[in-house]
Structure 1
Amino acid sequence: MSTETDKLHLKIPSFTDEIENTIRELGDNFRLLDLISDDYVSATPTSGDYLITKRLYNTSPIYGGYVGWVNVRTGKAAQMWRSLKAYKNGDYIIPNSDNGHVYICIQSGQSALTEPVFPVSTGIEFNDTRKSSTWAVTTQYKLNDIVLPTIENGRFYICIQAGESGNTEPPWQQVDGATTYDKNASWATYRICMWKEAGSAALFYPFGKIG
């Protein structure tokens, strides 16, 4: 009958154990050793799930730098939100100012120009169309204004030619990048990206100042 080591609780096979059971226990040992082995990275991760206290060691330590990074919050690592970036279903992001949460894309599309106000309630869904307004007749629009059609079509439009809108709503283009002409103004077409709050975000801090 096998026994265990004190610290890692690795299995120590006995000479009387069956061969199949011994091989299975040794396999479990190897998996555990692999799990706790040191990981080396060049920067904090932008994907993956990490437990609190997880340490990642710097592949290129220099004088004045750090030995590595330690995670202080169990959660998922993700890239920071970026403006006018194409996202697809299943992509994860975190806000540029940490709020402890991570968000998953549930509708492929393009982010807007201004970072959303990220909700922190569990499972909340929201569109990435901050600072948009519903299109209006004979209105002076300026470069980078964002409008939504009066009848929702899953797209938002960014002003690429400043000017006054017409006295009737234009027939909005629905192909990404296509231009809608609106009297003196022109609009570029983007599919709305939708996000959902998806739990806790990992948070890494540097440790081990060198020098």
Structure 2
Amino acid sequence: MEKSNGGLELDIVTNNTFDNDDIKETIVGYGKNFSTIEKYLTEAIEKPEDLPTGQVIEGGKIIWNKNPVIGGYVGWVNIREGLNAPSWKPKVNYTVGQEIKAKPDNGNIYRCVTAGKSMVHSPTFLVGEGVEFYDANGNKWFPNYNYQVNDVIFAVNGSKLYYYICETAGITGTSEPIWSSVLPSSTVVDGSVVWRKEATVKWKQVGISSEFRPFGKVE
């Protein structure tokens, strides 16, 4: 018997193997094929994000929707072979080693190399093998400036190890706060603004991401 060329790699009888194939082995092989096909057809989840992360998923893999509804879809098909990981999310504490896919999707997987908390808005995901960058969207602090809730700033010296997110809108003071005296995840008052200090995540591109798209709309 030979292996089929598809992703399931089923055991099949061909003209090249027919004369040498043992009947018992053929029957057992086809029994295994049915088990493989049954598992393939019955594998169902609520959403692609429920798949295990960190594994390579072949292109063309189909996952069935565990709870299809009218207006929804019967399943998803992977259109790009690559690593599976959840999409980037805002205000999440990421630890070293966690992997995400860019949002919006750019076809790549990124691994956290410096722990921290993601920002409100998605960063610019750089592209290049092994490239590293901060999860950073913000400007340097300005004096006497009107800031709104969720605005993000960095220290005037340009350091991006930490960022400061506005929790209470207002106008900053005339002098920059002494950021080094502020503990991570704690707040500091700056004029009428209240900032919260958070560690900035650093990402590293580590590979290509899978990409599932829905199919079979339920009318």
Q: Do they fold alike, i.e. is TM over 0.5?
A: yes
CA RMSD of aligned residues (A): 3.2
User: What is the CA–CA distance in structure 2 between the aligned matches of 1:145 and 1:64, rounded to whole Å?
Assistant: 38
Match status 1:110 vs 2:114: no
Per the TM alignment, residue 74 of structure 1 is displaced from its structure 2 partner at its CA by 0.5
* Gapped regions of structure 1 (runs ≥ 5): 15-25
| Aligned-partner Cα distance in 2 for 1:162–1:135 | 14
How many angstroms apart in 1 are the aligned matches of 2:64 and 2:200?
39
Which residue is 2:76 aligned to? 69
The structure 2 residue matched to 1:135, chosen from 137, 141, 164, is 141
Structure with the higher helix share, 1 or 2: 2
Whole-angstrom CA distance in 2 between matches of 1:66 and 1:182:
50
* Residues 38-79 of structure 1: CA deviation (Å, up to 9, x unaligned): 122121135342111111122233455433211110112222
The equivalent residue for 2:25 is none
Alpha-carbon distance between aligned partners in 1 of 2:71 and 2:120, rounded to the nearest angstrom:
36
The corresponding residue for 1:96 is 103
Work out the number of aligned pairs and report it. Answer: 194
CA displacement at 1:145 relative to structure 2: 2.4
Paired residue for 1:22? none
Once the two structures are superposed, the pairs formed by residues 48-67 of structure 1 within 5 Å of their partners are 48-62=55-69, 64-67=71-74
TM-score, with normalisation over the residues of structure 1?
0.75
Give the TM-score, by structure 2 length: 0.73
Separation in structure 1 between the aligned mates of residue 61 and residue 151 of structure 2, nearest angstrom: 43
User: Aligned AA for 1:139?
Assistant: N
Name stretches of at least 5 consecutive residues in structure 2 with no aligned partner: 5-9, 13-19, 23-27
Contact in 2 for aligned 1:110/1:193 (Cα 8 Å): yes
Equivalent residue of 1:45, what SS? Answer: helix
1:42 and 2:46 matched: yes
Deviates more, 1:150-159 or 1:104-113: 150-159
Paired residue secondary structure (2:106): coil
1:141–1:159 Cα contact (<8 Å) kept: no
Cα distance change of structure 1 residues 184 and 123 upon mapping to structure 2, 3 Å threshold: same
Q: Residue 63 and residue 155 in structure 1: after superposition, are their counterparts in 2 closer, same or farther (change >3 A)?
A: closer
Q: Take 1:196 and 1:89, find their aligned partners in 2: how far apart are those partners?
A: 11
Name the structure 1 match of 2:171. Answer: 164
Q: Contact (CA 8 Å) 2:160, 2:200: kept in 1 or not? A: no
- Taking the aligned partners of 1:191 and 1:185, their CA distance within structure 2 comes to 19
Indicate whether 1:193 and 2:201 are aligned: yes
Deviations 1:120-152 (A, max 9, x none): 22221111111x12223x331312322212343
SS in 2 for 1:102: strand
* 8 Å CA contact retained: 1:80, 1:95: yes
Separation of aligned partners in 1, 2:63 and 2:205: 26
SS of the aligned residue for 2:105 comes to coil
Instruction: Look up the equivalent residue of 2:203 and give its one-letter code.
Output: W
- 1:86 matched residue in structure 2: 93
Kept after mapping to 1: 8 A contact 2:141/2:154: yes
Match of 1:184 in 2: 192
Deviation larger for 56-65 or 193-202: 56-65
